[in-house]
Amino acid sequence: MDGSLKIGKYELQSRLIVGTGKYPSLEVMQRAHEASGTQMVTVAIRRISLDDASGKTMLDYLDRTRYTILPNTAGCTTAREAVLTAQLARELLETDLIKLEVIGDSHTLYPDTVETIAAAHELVRDGFTVLPYIVDDPTACRRLEEAGCAAVMPLAAPIGSGLGVCNPYSISIIKERASVPVIVDAGVGTASDAALAMELGVDAVLMNTGIAAAKDPVAMGRAMRLAVEAGRLAYLAGRMEKRLYASASSPMTDLIGARK
């Protein structure tokens, strides 16, 4: 019934992309990833500490035969920083994938649309498969698509807020107009949020805190997997029309004790 998710040259069976941040332990993270059924996980790029340069890195905890790694440019505030971070990530991970994130405000972590679009143009020119985190704005998403991004990733709500899909109408419009995959990124707090996003018709959901900050991240990983699958199936199935008044499911004729 449903095909795979294609993002540029990449093809995924799972429509759930998950992060690697904020887990109580790396062992819990690994189990949560497994329970979520994800095939793509995000990592951030940071300077090493010069005082303690030895030791394991995040890559030692990710099975790259199982998960495609999606590095991000989280924390960048200018297109220039984001482009260099992406280029370093490409050298480190030997991937052309990049989750482009250029932050415009430290309190809301809302993206800086102008810098994001500028960076997208440059990264596409440089051969990257660009997945930009962006506001739930159809025009911004169109600009990113025109720049050559392989997907657009409007936020459901601020990063780490768990508020769910705050503007389902915008997300629906973005999906209706986009010809690249739409991935809802950020703000999903629980399974119903993920299911709602998928019921709107988006192609995938990306989340981190929703799983990692649950009391039981492994159970929530599984809940999110089921929610994404359920939401996708419900979207494909086509929901019934909403109506104001009741419509009986059982026959209203031949009732017992009724007078003829």
Partner 1 sequence: MKATINGERRELAEGTTLAALLETLGLTPGGIAVAVNAHVVRRVDFERHRLDEGDAVEIIRAVAGG
The residues binding partner 1 (CB under 8 A) are: 19-23, 29, 42-48, 50, 53-54, 57-60, 69, 71-72, 74, 80, 84-85, 87-93, 159-160, 186, 206-209, 212
Neighbouring-strand partners of residue 11: 6
The CA-based angle 109-113-119, given to 5 degrees, is 105
> Which residue lies nearer to partner 1 by CB, 71 or 132?
71
Q: How far apart are CA 58 and CA 46, in angstroms?
A: 11
Per the residue annotation, which of 9, 22, 56, 99 is the catalytic one? 99
Rg (CA), the chain: 21
Q: How far is the CB of 133 from partner 1 (least distance, A)?
A: 10
> Which residue lies nearer to partner 1 by CB, 100 or 235?
100
Structure tokens at 16: 């759930």
Q: How far is the CB of 229 from partner 1 (least distance, A)?
A: 21
Place of tokens 């199935």: 237
Place of tokens 């119903």: 192
Q: Does residue 260 have an active-site annotation?
A: no
Q: C-alpha 55: how far from its chain's center?
A: 30
Q: What 3-state DSSP class applies to 99?
A: strand
> Which residue lies nearer to partner 1 by CB, 197 or 235?
197
Q: How far apart are CA 153 and CA 131, in angstroms?
A: 7
> Which residue lies nearer to partner 1 by CB, 89 or 199?
89
Q: How far is the CB of 10 from partner 1 (least distance, A)?
A: 19
Q: How far is the CB of 159 from partner 1 (least distance, A)?
A: 7
Catalytic positions, written as ranges: 99
